[in-house]
Amino acid sequence: MKKITVFSFSEKGNRVNLEIAKLLSSDAEVESSLRSEDGGTLRERTERAFRGDALIFVGAAGIAVRAIAPFIRSKDKDPAVIVIDELKQHVIPLLSGHLGGANDLAESLAKQICAEAVITTATDINKVFAVDSFAKEKGIGIENPERIKDVSSALLRNEEIGVSISPYLTDIFPKTLKLIPKCLCLGVGCRKGTEYDKLKSFILGFLRDRNISLSAISDIATIDIKKGEAAIRRFADEYNLRLSFFTAEELKELPDSFSFSESDFVLEKTGVSNVCERSAVKRALELGSEGRVSLLEKKQASGGMTLALAVFDGTGGTEGIHPEGEKKDEAPGKNGRGSISVVGIGPGSSDKLTPEAENAILKADPVIGYRVYTELIKELTKGKTVISSDMRKERERCEKAREYALKGSRVAVVCSGDAEIYGMAGLIFEVCISDPDIDITVIPGITAALAGGAVLGSPLTNDFSVISLSDHLTDKETINKRLRAAAEADLVCVLYNPRSRIRKESLREAVEILLEKLPPERISGYVKNIGREGERVKLCTLTELPDEDIDMFTTVFIGNSATTVINGRMVTRRGYRQS
């Protein structure tokens, strides 16, 4: 039942308030918010009411505008807001005329109290099709409501305009308004006690990889023995999805025409050979009409979790689907090509690996990377094809990734830290320059400058530079020029690749260049093996750096004139000017 709050501010307004509340109470839960000290301030009462479906103000429009202003969010989230004058002459919708239903409520209420509904939305007064009203009437979600104005403006100019009605988030037109029909059922299976964050990350990544909107999901379905699975219930609650459970016998009754993926292991554990696909189809058949149901996405498994999608009623759009409803058998990328995710895995510890990076690795086969980095994520690559090689083989690894993607594979190329900062992202784009049909996704990670800075304290509080001392990609003259520029500009300087077995003197030479401008006692520090076994951190002066135990797996930090030591930590002051 809808929740409506009616506000009033005078004795005459209170009488109108109670009259309106009585008229609406048969179809809604109505609260009369009369002016009183006990009910809190108008701001507090308005904030509470904004969690409901509609607010009606009896009184001046200005009072209503000032009351609601702090709480307005967006077209698809705001409740209906209406103003009625104390004489009951005019009923004026102020907010959420279409999606929130303010216009309809105003017209209905005006008829009941013999007043005039003052409708101001351009599409209504010009009798032009209102796409948001259409979506509300049909129960269709709007993925990007900010585009509603573009469609309405074009229609008011009598121009042709296109709208996408599909569960797929596809930009068909230069400015695509994406209407999302609730036409999909998500079948879920998981091990007992699955962590919520892992299930949530898996589901959202599964949908994102397929360009499917979460708004297209109407239901989650699974087997009845999962009724107590907290992760499934929590996801359904968080995203306001219906949850259906079926017995093994009910799932086994489904026709074989859906070509379910069968598993003897699942059969032994649950009594049915497939949970996620059968559950999705079973619920879709209950919701669909005339049997227009198909298995849109077959079982996808990861870490003891399985997902599948079924589409019902033929409302799933045509993007990627045959007229019969069967999904095209094509690779995950464009035009049948595969995809490459360039993944930053952070400094190496699992707690600093982002959920997005983990999902990309779990869904990929093969996984390609420098030998040290693939070893760091070996728990995520069990059962996968792993292609690893030594340093200076970067282009070869990128060529291998391109080769697999052209065959239709979903590839992950892993980099330590971030995928862009001295990572493989730029090189992947270069290698694939003649292959625009390969989908390339860059997944950021926590780079060494950020992870190491956090260990030291907060050396990167203000402007800073990041310079690699490796002359493998950048010539030495350019590196030296950048060092001098950083010192001249008084930037905190972070040095990557400070020393190697071949470049034994590179750090010492860099320090000598910095000392041309910087004082020898400049606060510095370094972190070795950030986030990994054997992590070591130390503060020192600039002149002491060359004699420290520093190698390729060490990140060096050189402070600026505002850097100090606070309780043993390296900190660069904020630097705000005092007024």
**Residue 539, domain CATH:** 3.30.950.10
Structure confidence by residue, pLDDT tens digits, 295-344: 888 899 999 999 999 988 644 333 332 222 333 333 344 444 689 999 99
Phi, psi of 221 (to 5 degrees): -130, 145
Average pLDDT, the chain: 86
Tokens at 441, concatenated: 């996704």
**Rounded distance, CA 156 to CA 127, Å?**
9
How would you list the strands of the sheet with 457-458, edge to edge?
457-458, 569-572, 563-566
The domain containing residue 269 runs over which residues?
184-312
Half-sphere exposure of 293 (CA within 13 A, CB side): 23
Considering 95-99, 157-161, 443-447, the range whose residues carry the highest mean pLDDT is 443-447
**Is-contact 416 373, C-beta < 8 A?**
yes
pLDDT classification of 291: cutoffs 50, 70, 90:
low
**Is-contact 367 374, C-beta < 8 A?**
yes
The answer to whether position 126 is within a domain reads no
Of the three residues 424, 446, 468, the one that is the final residue of a domain is 446
Q: State the pLDDT at residue 323.
A: 27
**Is-contact 441 342, C-beta < 8 A?**
yes
Of the three residues 155, 180, 205, the one that is the final residue of a domain is 180
- Asked if 257 and 340 sit in the same domain, the reply is no
- Asked if 561 and 442 sit in the same domain, the reply is no
Give yes or no for residue 578 having a pLDDT over 70. Answer: no
For the chain, the helix, strand and coil percentages under 3-state DSSP, each to the nearest 5: 35, 25, 40
The answer to whether position 490 is within a domain reads yes
- Asked if 94 and 167 sit in the same domain, the reply is no
Choose among 537, 302, 503, 527: nearest CA to 417.
Answer: 527
The answer to whether position 325 is within a domain reads no
**Is-contact 274 299, C-beta < 8 A?**
yes
193: left (phi over 0), alpha (psi -120 to 50) or beta: left
Choose among 163, 166, 169, 126: nearest CA to 148.
Answer: 163
Q: State the pLDDT at residue 39.
A: 65
Q: What is the mean pLDDT of residues 105-121?
A: 92
- Asked if 191 and 293 sit in the same domain, the reply is yes
Structure confidence by residue, pLDDT tens digits, 449-473: 999 999 999 999 999 999 999 988 7
- Asked if 172 and 234 sit in the same domain, the reply is no
Q: State the pLDDT at residue 122.
A: 83
**Rounded distance, CA 213 to CA 354, Å?**
22
- Asked if 435 and 458 sit in the same domain, the reply is no
**Is-contact 421 413, C-beta < 8 A?**
no
Tokens at 86, concatenated: 């104390």
**Is-contact 346 354, C-beta < 8 A?**
yes
- Asked if 425 and 354 sit in the same domain, the reply is yes
Half-sphere exposure of 37 (CA within 13 A, CB side): 0
- 3-state class (DSSP) for residue 308: strand
- Asked if 355 and 472 sit in the same domain, the reply is no
- Asked if 11 and 78 sit in the same domain, the reply is yes
Count CB-CB contacts under 10 A for residue 248: 17
Q: Residues of the chain with pLDDT > 90: what percent? A: 55
Structure pTM? 0.44
- Asked if 347 and 416 sit in the same domain, the reply is yes
**Which residues are paired to 555 by β-bridges?**
527
The answer to whether position 13 is within a domain reads yes
**Rounded distance, CA 65 to CA 44, Å?**
15
Q: Name, in order, each residue with C-beta under 8 angstroms of 75's C-beta and a sequence gap of 6 or more.
A: 96, 98, 99, 132, 142, 145, 146, 148
The answer to whether position 125 is within a domain reads no
Q: How many domains does the chain have?
A: 5
Alpha helices (runs of H) in 407-493, residue ranges in sequence order? 425-431, 448-456, 476-488
Give yes or no for residue 162 having a pLDDT over 80. Answer: no
How would you list the strands of the sheet with 523-528, edge to edge?
464-468, 492-496, 554-558, 523-528, 536-541
- Asked if 142 and 200 sit in the same domain, the reply is no
Inter-axis angle of helices 196-209 and 355-363, to 10 degrees?
Answer: 60
Half-sphere exposure of 550 (CA within 13 A, CB side): 29
- Position with higher pLDDT, 439 vs 392: 439
Residue keyed to tokens 């009183």: 36
How would you list the strands of the sheet with 80-84, edge to edge?
28-33, 2-8, 54-58, 80-84, 90-95, 116-117
The answer to whether position 237 is within a domain reads yes
- Asked if 137 and 195 sit in the same domain, the reply is no
Cα dihedral 444, 449, 452, 454 sign? negative
User: 134: exposed, middle or buried (C-beta count within 10 Å: 0-12, 13-18, 19+)?
Assistant: middle
- 3-state class (DSSP) for residue 211: coil
Burial code (b: 16+ CB inside 10 Å, e: under 16) for 145-159 equals bebbebbbeebeeee
Cα dihedral 393, 384, 258, 186 sign? negative
Structure confidence by residue, pLDDT tens digits, 346-372: 987 777 888 889 888 988 889 999 988
172-179 LR contacts (CB < 8 Å, sep 24+): 175/147, 175/150, 176/144, 176/147, 177/131, 177/142, 177/144, 177/147, 177/148, 177/150, 177/151, 178/142, 178/143, 178/144, 178/147, 178/213, 179/131, 179/135, 179/140, 179/141, 179/142, 179/143
Of the three residues 446, 467, 489, the one that is the final residue of a domain is 446
